Amino acid sequence: MSELTLYLDLLSQPCRSVYIFAKANDIPFKNHELQLFKGDHLSEDFGKVNPLRKVPALRDGDFTLAESTAMLRYLANKYETPDHWYPSDIQKRARVDEYLAWQHTNTRPHAARVFWIKAMAPYLLGHDAPDEKLQPALCEFINTLTAIEDQFLQDKPFIAGDEISIADIVAIVEIMQPVAAGVDVFEDKPKLATWKSRVLQVIGANLFKEAHDRILRVKEMEKQPPSPELKERLTTKLDYFLR
């Protein structure tokens, strides 16, 4: 069997999803660590793996793959992980796919916006972002959490039913992004908090902590001002979220 290499930066939500899934299923892989803040993804060598120059990326022999949700499906199929991760039942699988399709324009961007406004603005600007920028982002994200509770979880233990799936891993790592910025996203949301506990029980608290260690320490960056080049690159992205 060819060697599997995953190109990851665990500051990235999609990278954490792939990392947790591979580790939880004892899938052997070489972890090729990249640092987005240092621009490793912009290198010529990485461009040969993923011309889109985004992480995560996967190399399996001569086969390369971009997009984290595609990687999760690929790993589940190739390594024949337990059926609950990506169910063979067509309706349960459709529930997984439904969330994976929805999150691209909901949970992921809304969580990222809160994170950048709440955590990255002080790092790059030296002061908090204006409240009129933060509050709409928080409101949008809270509405997203309500949709997850009401439309996806409903009265089920997990998104696809009675057992955990890759949809739950994708959801939890996205929701943790604002947590890293100091936002208590589980406040007044007991259903979501209980669901989180179930997810951690399955994948293991230690693995969850390992995957989130860097992102939960992101505020430590404020002690180390960015270089002019890094500041320019990151400020461009921050401006996008502050629009």
**Tens of pLDDT along 69-114?**
999 999 999 999 999 999 999 999 999 999 999 999 999 999 999 9
**Do 143 and 238 belong together in one domain?**
yes
- Is the model's pLDDT at 219 over the cut of 90? no
- Extended beta strands in 43-132, E state: 57-60, 63-66
Q: What is the DSSP letter of 150?
A: I
Report strand pairing: 63-66 vs 4-8. unpaired
**Do 98 and 69 belong together in one domain?**
no
**Do 108 and 215 belong together in one domain?**
yes
- Is the model's pLDDT at 26 over the cut of 70? yes
CATH code (residue 65) = 3.40.30.10
**Do 123 and 231 belong together in one domain?**
yes
43-71: per-residue pLDDT in tens?
Answer: 999 999 999 999 999 999 999 999 999 99
Q: What is the DSSP string of 65-76?
A: EE-HHHHHHHHH
Prediction pTM value: 0.95
Q: Across residues 153-162, what is the average pLDDT?
A: 97
For residues 40 and 75, which has the higher predicted lDDT (pLDDT)? 75
**Do 150 and 237 belong together in one domain?**
yes
Q: Is the peptide bond before 56 cis (omega within 30 degrees of 0)?
A: yes
**Do 49 and 161 belong together in one domain?**
no
User: In this predicted structure, what is the pLDDT of residue 1?
Assistant: 63
**Do 53 and 111 belong together in one domain?**
no
Which of 48, 81, 114 delimits the end of a domain? Answer: 81
User: In this predicted structure, what is the pLDDT of residue 117?
Assistant: 96
What does each C-alpha distance from 213 to 151, 217, 232, 239 come to in angstroms?
30, 6, 26, 26
Tally of structural domains, the chain:
2
**Do 200 and 232 belong together in one domain?**
yes
**Do 153 and 203 belong together in one domain?**
yes
d(CA 141, CA 151): 15
User: In this predicted structure, what is the pLDDT of residue 209?
Assistant: 96
Which of 33, 63, 81 delimits the end of a domain? Answer: 81
Phi, psi of 7 (to 5 degrees): -100, 110
Whole-number average pLDDT of the chain: 94
Residue span of the structural domain in which 50 resides? 4-81
pLDDT confidence bin for 187, thresholds 50/70/90: confident
Helix (H) or strand (E) holding 66: strand 63-66
**Do 127 and 14 belong together in one domain?**
no
CATH code (residue 171) = 1.20.1050.10
The pair of structure tokens assigned to 6 is 């995953």
∠ Cα 130 132 137 (to 5°): 100
Q: Which residue is associated with the tokens 């500051």? A: 11
**Do 171 and 99 belong together in one domain?**
yes
